[in-house]
Structure 1
Amino acid sequence: MSGTGHGSEQPGGSYGALGPVEAAEGAKVVPHAPLPRRGLTRRQWYALAALLLAGGTLLVARHAADRPAQAANSPPPYPVQVSGFSYGGQLREAAPGGHEFTLRVLATATGPFPYEIVEAHQSYRGITTTVVGTALPRTVEPGRQVEFDVVYLVTDCAAAPRDAGLPFLDVTLRNTRAIQTVSQILGDGYARDLSRNLHITCPDSGIRT
């Protein structure tokens, strides 16, 4: 029997090769359509909103809890930043021919932190000062005023200023952060009383005491 068998050689040297399967005539190839997406139900939206709200509340509470710990660990301000000084008036005027007079100074804490007054003195040559009325160092608490009196002793009229137009008082302050010495300008009243007492103590003759 003659004819072409299944094992006959085909062009290209392959045996029994099958080509791609094609759709039958008249058949339609329908691609897979994507599944329809379902939106979140109202209950699911409420659950998601509650979850987000709980997460935000927890984050805010955590930051609020961290703030006091950070504030407790941070150092207080420098003493000069929380201190205030003003003139409290004249307590004792210099007597003619005398060498002493007394002026009052007021100290306050301008913030929520205390500080100490360690020392107060006048830096003019020819004048020495002594703080009386309170023992130093003295703590100045927030909300409270501390008064201390400064006794001025003129030791050399030639070196002492005749007119103290812008006098200042040097004060040494201390807290747990630092110790500082600063010059405090106490205003016009202090300058006027200091100059008047210097004129009484040291007349314009320039005679040394």
Structure 2
Amino acid sequence: MSGVGPVEPGEGTRAGDDDPDPGPPRPRGRLALLYGRHRRTLLTATTAAALLAGGGYLYVTRPQSPAPPPPSPPPYPSQVVDVSYLDAEPAPRDAPPRSFRLSVVLSVQSGPPVTVTGIAQPYAGLSVISSPRPPFRTKAGSARKIDITMHVTECGKVPENAGLPFLDVTLRNARAIEAHSYILGSRYAHDLSAALHVACGNRSR
């Protein structure tokens, strides 16, 4: 008898299966949960082993905080140093003739310590010796008395009346070295003129 009938499944196949070899049946229930966990662990370990075998690296990037701004430079020494006149004082006993002493005070307002490296005055006929002698250092927030002994070396090269005298002070701190001229006011000018008049009363050369 000839004709076309339903196709019987062959050996090792089942009717209605698209996959000829579906593999072993998967576990169900609690056993399926354990299987899923074990499978994920195995996949993770396999991936890490593959990266190590291939020379790969895993990088974890962390957000970086912005770098802090650089600190401000310290001020120039002349910006934080003040020199003011104190008074006239007797000259030291061992000072040469035609000598006199004027005292000033130097104060440092802020910043790093300031070192005085030199003290001078503008008149060619007048020499200056200070106590303490340079170099000496003064810290911020403190003041130092400076005794300045002046000696007239040549009366013809000093003024009879010092109108606007000043003192040259060389300063150094961590920022810079500066030579600054300090005008010490009318009382300093008066006392200096009086001392010069006594030293050179007859204007001897």
Give the count of matched residue pairs. Answer: 139
- The letter for the 2-side match of 1:176 is A
Alignment partner of 1:136 is 2:134:
yes
Distance 1:82 1:104 in 2: 20
Q: Which runs of 5+ in 1 are unaligned?
A: 1-61
**8 Å Cα contact 1:94/1:197 also seen in 2:** no
Q: Do the aligned partners of residues 177 and 103 (structure 1) sit closer, same or farther apart at CA in structure 2, a change above 3 Å counting?
A: same
Q: Which runs of 5+ in 2 are unaligned?
A: 1-64
* TM-score normalised by structure 2 residue count: 0.62
**8 Å Cα contact 2:130/2:147 also seen in 1:** yes
- The letter for the 2-side match of 1:123 is P
Alignment partner of 1:206 is 2:172:
no
Distance 1:117 1:197 in 2: 25
Cα displacement (A) at 1:87: 0.5
Superposed CA offset, 1:160-204 (max 9, x none): 11111110000000011211111111111111110000000111x
Q: Do the aligned partners of residues 199 and 128 (structure 1) sit closer, same or farther apart at CA in structure 2, a change above 3 Å counting?
A: same
User: CA RMSD of the aligned region, Å?
Assistant: 2.3
Distance 1:93 1:184 in 2: 22
Alignment partner of 1:122 is 2:124:
no
**Sequence identity of aligned pairs in percent?**
38
**8 Å Cα contact 2:112/2:174 also seen in 1:** no
Counterpart mapping for 1:80-95 below 5 A? 80-92=78-90
**8 Å Cα contact 2:90/2:101 also seen in 1:** yes
**8 Å Cα contact 1:82/1:113 also seen in 2:** no
Q: Do the aligned partners of residues 141 and 94 (structure 1) sit closer, same or farther apart at CA in structure 2, a change above 3 Å counting?
A: closer
Cα displacement (A) at 1:93: 5.8
Distance 1:77 1:143 in 2: 14
Cα displacement (A) at 1:110: 2.1
List structure 1 segments (4+ residues) > 6 angstroms apart after TM superposition: none
Distance 1:66 1:179 in 2: 29
